[in-house]
Amino acid sequence: MELALGLILLLYGLADLLFRFLGLGAYAHGSRRETKVALTFDDGPSERTEALLALLARHGVKATFFLTGEKAKARPDLVERIRREGHQLEDHGEWHTPWRLLLPWLEWRHMAQNPGRYYRPPHGLHTPFTRLFARLLGKRLALWDLESKDWLPLPPEALAERLLYYLRPGPSSSSTTGQSAP
């Protein structure tokens, strides 16, 4: 019994390592040959979404919003506004509780309840089933290669400075996509 549990934990750990950290088979790293940045925002809509939409509109920028089903159902007005303003809406699962993803039947339900061509797992967490479930649901996995780390207790200026430090245009670019909670 202990050996079986150990092998299962090893399988889950390897899946997370290969698929989350290396990004194998997912949109995870932007092209270093193009001067493009893909802005993505996760976990919303939230109380900050309206201010974020105003900021994006002021600068004429479009972004992709990876929404959780439970928050989208709670704020359909914001979901419609995001869509109406021309931003891309994609799937971040039904909830943002990673432990639920460890059980295959809950992970399937989590991924199947919301529309989207792309799916971004909460925290990027991968199980041995994540890629299979995404494929069966007709979704591609989308990760990131530069993370805003907006959960850190830092002022917005420090977070922006960090992003700009790692974001480089052209062939020497080290990062082209970002993640932040709206």
Of the CA atoms within 13 Å of residue 133, those in its CB half-sphere come to: 21
Q: Domain coordinates of the chain in residue numbers?
A: 2-180
State how far the Cα of 172 lies from the Cα of 162, in Å rounded to an integer: 17
At residue 53, the pLDDT reads 96
SS3 of the chain: the string is CHHHHHHHHHHHHHHHHHHHHCCCCCECCCCCCCCCCEEEEEEECCCCHHHHHHHHHHHCCCCEEEECHHHHHHCHHHHHHHHHCCCEEEECCCCCCHHHHHCHHHHHHHHHCCCCCEECCHHHCCCCCHHHHHHHCCCEEECCCCCCCCCCCCCHHHHHHHHHHHCCCCCCCCCCEEEECC
State how far the Cα of 22 lies from the Cα of 20, in Å rounded to an integer: 6
Contact (CB, 8 A) for 67 and 85: no
Closest by CA to 39, choosing from 155, 153, 142, 162, is 142
The model carries a pTM of 0.80
Contact (CB, 8 A) for 159 and 149: yes
At residue 176, the pLDDT reads 37
Domain 2-180 has CATH 3.40.470.10: no
At residue 163, the pLDDT reads 85
At residue 174, the pLDDT reads 39
* pLDDT tens digits for range 136-145: 999 999 988 8
Which parts of the chain sit beneath pLDDT 50?
A: 170-182
